[in-house]
Chain A
Amino acid sequence: QTVVTQEPSFSVSPGGTVTLTCDLSSGSVSTSYYPSWYQQTPGQAPRTLIYNTNTRSSGVPDRFSGSILGNRAALTITGAQADDESDYYCVLYMGSGVWVFGGGTKLTVL
């Protein structure tokens, strides 16, 4: 059973920088898993932020960036704003038509 783990919650001050991570139970996350990141605000469908590790989706501000940090995928928000307060999900493509979502990180901006 493959498990993708994210921090359950995180807090950042307005204008601050925060890095959310995405860990894989069976080993290191690499670009071969095509990590992607999604933002969901309460009552709304998710929105695609980052795909293929570090490619921003259309219309996503450049304060959002993706990377591999050590053995994890990472989403960094630089200059956090109040409306960045959301749930963030990473997804890894395991190959053979299988995707695994992380449990999500609830980000608070205060």
Chain B
Amino acid sequence: QVQLVESGGGVVQSGRSLRLYCAASGFTFSNYGILWVRQAPGKGLEWVAVIWYDGSNKYYADSVKGRFTISRDNSKNTLYLQMNSLRVEDTALYYCVRLGSSWAIDHWGQGTLVTVSS
């Protein structure tokens, strides 16, 4: 079955960097676009970034543009999110999600928690 397992979260000081990982299994990773979606504590969901199936296109929410970089290694079935210049407002549970048909998410990971302290 499709599995997306996030890791790399933790507590980090404002201004520092962190790299998130998403290990995919149960499907042909190189055939699918993947997104990062985050959820601040007690808040709603927010789209963060997307990468096309072949890495040819990457797009970012305005809130993270210029600070976050999404990438993938299809040989390792792994997605990455490099987060630089972290801010307190980046504190959230970060989900790795698969892009399915019709521009919709069809599978979700369980998330990894990022806490940015001041």
Contacts and interface: CB of A to CB of B under 8 A. Distances in A.
Interface in B38-79: 44-47, 50, 57-59, 61
Given A51-B102, A89-B44, A104-B44, A97 B50 contact: yes
B95 A38 contact: no
A99 B108 contact: no
Query: What does DSSP make chain B's interface, helix, strand, loop or mixed?
Result: strand
Given A96-B59, A97-B59, A99-B35, A51 B46 contact: no
Nearest to A33: B103
Contacts of A45: 95, 108-111
Max chain A Cβ within 10 angstroms of own Cβ: one of B35, B103, B108: B103
A104 to B, nearest CB: 4
Interface string A89-103: 101010011111111
Contact of B46 (A34, A38, A101): A101
Query: What does DSSP make chain A's interface, helix, strand, loop or mixed?
Result: strand
A66 to B, nearest CB: 11
Contact of B104 (A48, A87, A101, A102): A48
B105 interface: yes
Interface in B66-118: 95, 100-111
Interface string A6-26: 000000000000000000000
Interface of B: 35, 37, 44-47, 50, 57-59, 61, 95, 100-111
